[in-house]
Amino acid sequence: MYRYKNDQGVMVTASTISPEYARKGYQVVNMSGVVLETIPPEPTAEERAQLEQNRQQQLSAAQQMEQDKQLLLRYTNLDELKNAKQRKLSEIDSKIKMLQGNISALGQQIEFEQGTAADFERTGRPVPPAQLQKIEALQQERKVLESQVVSRQQELAEETQRFDHEIERYTFLEQQRHGKQP
């Protein structure tokens, strides 16, 4: 049996319940009227949003705990973390410098090939198509390397930010750990 309030606020006991009243909450009772179970009303849209937000916060908290655990397993102390940051940033910086060196070398090659093409023009001869294609290929290669430099510079900024965040978080965790000790 189901017990619920109808639209007039009157308590009704029946063997069935319509979905309209079921959403508002009801009680399951035995033949003597003893409550066996109480079903709460369906949550409102606002309550559902709050429940979802709470679930997301719990999920985020669990993810943060896992990240903290991994951070503490990866590094035994703050100096180790700072050294890892320095190594990673130096590695990326070296790649940027290597790419910039390659760009410089390509620039010299392009200048040489353009000089050769200019020699053809000064003597009144047409520049061979192969020479023009070579210049174009070198210029394209330089554009690719320049885009790689931009990409590496972005990686450098992202890694700096990531390590700074990890250093900040590690420091916080260490302070918490030491603050709890007597």
> Which pLDDT tens digit goes with each residue over 2-20?
899 998 989 999 999 888 8
For the chain, give the mean pLDDT: 92
Contact call for residues 115 and 122 (beta carbons, < 8 A):
no
Look at residue 171 and give its three-state secondary structure: helix
Quote the tokens at residue 176.
Answer: 């918490």
pLDDT tens across 16-26, in order?
Answer: 988 888 889 99
Pairing between β-strand 11-14 and β-strand 35-39 as defined by DSSP bridges? unpaired
Q: Which of 23, 27, 14, 63 is nearest to 47 (CA)?
A: 23
| Distance of alpha carbon 161 from alpha carbon 98, whole angstroms | 23
Rounded to the nearest 5 percent, the helix, strand and coil shares of the chain are 70, 10, 20
Strand, helix or coil for residue 128 = coil
pTM over 0.85: no
Q: Model confidence at 56, in pLDDT bands (50, 70, 90)?
A: confident
Domain assignments of the chain as residue spans, ordered by start: 2-42, 44-74, 76-180
What is the C-alpha to C-alpha distance for residues 100 and 95, in angstroms, rounded to an integer?
9
Provide the 10 A C-beta neighbour count for residue 81: 19
